[in-house]
Amino acid sequence: MSGNSVDDDIEACPNLPPRAKPTSVHDLRIDDVRVIAALGDSITAAFGANGVQRGDPPSMRNTMEDRGISFSMGGDDGAFTLANFIQRFEPRVRGASIGSHRAEICYGVLCPPMQYHENDRLNAAQSGAMIPNLIAELEHLIRAMKSDSDINWASDFKSLKLAAVPSEQLLTIFIGNNDACLGCAPGSGSTYLSPAAYEATMRALLERIQTAIPRVVVNIMMGFNVSQVYDLTVEDPYCQGLRRAGTVFECVCAFLPGPMGEANRQRMDVLTQQYNARLQSLARFYNTHPRSDSFAVIVDPLLSNVRVKEWNLKFLSNSDCFHPAAEAHALMAKGVWWNLFRPPTSKRTKLVPDEGIPVWCPGRADRIATQPPE
């Protein structure tokens, strides 16, 4: 590693010197990335990230997506996001979402068409999405990319004209929380929610990405034990009031009290960790069978061991006491950015808010680390 870190000001990082065009996605410096995109659910859509005022009656503000501060895709000025960190080193990067709007709901078969907003740009995530919904998200993303004249769509490095500017792409995927939130029923792990079904759908998704999107690094976020939101909020009167009023209906498996609730949460956690193991297996496969110069898969374990129950409530949205607040999105962005440059054995596997994460300043020798998990 040739870089260093700064407290919280990425503008204090030194500029990177010019370099020759890369010939492989396994040799990408962060300033080579010209396109950022994302697939996922309400977390990537930043549902409720800006929150509401505690004590105010529920309103349409409780149903907003604040995509401009999404940890991976937010492009609002001054937001701590992966997209803005990349833009610091490559101002021409395309794809970041901006602003806020009503939630785009896509929950299994309940997925109305034509919900995307112009300001979503290449953030194709939709609130409520489960892994089968990502196939439709991806097709929307491909259409959006192809319609952008600033994205070079040549199929590989060798086909690029000498005068062309390659559009190397970083695609972040974060999915599985809603799948796990339905996974509390006994036997659910052997149904359409099974780890095998999750892996098969993710494999089909990756096959489509490899075929349709040239020169792309896919960074897949591991899931976290969302059940611990119960432990963090169970004694908070405001959060419990929201749930009693019926204004929040999320992850029923996680919030049932008593022994049955404990059993539910344990099944959810087991399912999440099984999903994570399948993601690691897929990354090993795609980076070794055979290794491609135009396609790579990274698995980011940043959230795999996070202990949400030990966090402060300020990291949860006041909109629903469930989704990450703006502070959590900023912390996640710094963690994802940190992990991008590190091999699997050196990546962070949890976020501890009190410890903080410095902003990494990449140096001329730093590359997006595409080694497969060991």
Q: 56-83, pLDDT tens digit by residue?
A: 766 667 889 999 999 999 999 999 999 9
Closest CA to 336 of 32, 44, 42, 11: 44
Tokens 């966090």 belong to 311
**Would the pLDDT of 91 be above 60?**
yes
- Per residue in 182-200, pLDDT (tens digit) is 887 777 767 889 999 999 9
Q: Which helix (H) or strand (E) holds 205?
A: helix 195-212
Q: Kindly state the tokens that stand for 269.
A: 């956690």
Q: Is residue 188 part of a domain?
A: yes
Q: Is residue 99 part of a domain?
A: yes
Neighbours of 7 (CB within 10 A): 8
Strands 295-300 and 216-221: parallel
SS3 283: helix
Q: Is residue 371 part of a domain?
A: no
Q: Is residue 366 part of a domain?
A: no
Domain count, the chain: 1
Label residue 163 by pLDDT band (50, 70, 90). Answer: very low
CA distances, 181 to each of 3, 142, 318 (Å): 39, 29, 20
Q: Is residue 327 part of a domain?
A: yes
Tell me what percent of the residues of the chain surpass a pLDDT of 70: 93
- Residue 353: asked if its preceding bond is cis (omega within 30°), the reply is no
Q: Domain of 32: which CATH number?
A: 3.40.50.1110
Q: Is residue 368 part of a domain?
A: no
282, 196 Cβ separation under 8 angstroms: no
Domain that holds residue 210: 4-361
Q: Is residue 372 part of a domain?
A: no
Q: Is residue 370 part of a domain?
A: no
70, 81 Cβ separation under 8 angstroms: yes
- Greater confidence, 364 or 187? 364
β-partners of residue 101 are: 65
169, 34 Cβ separation under 8 angstroms: yes
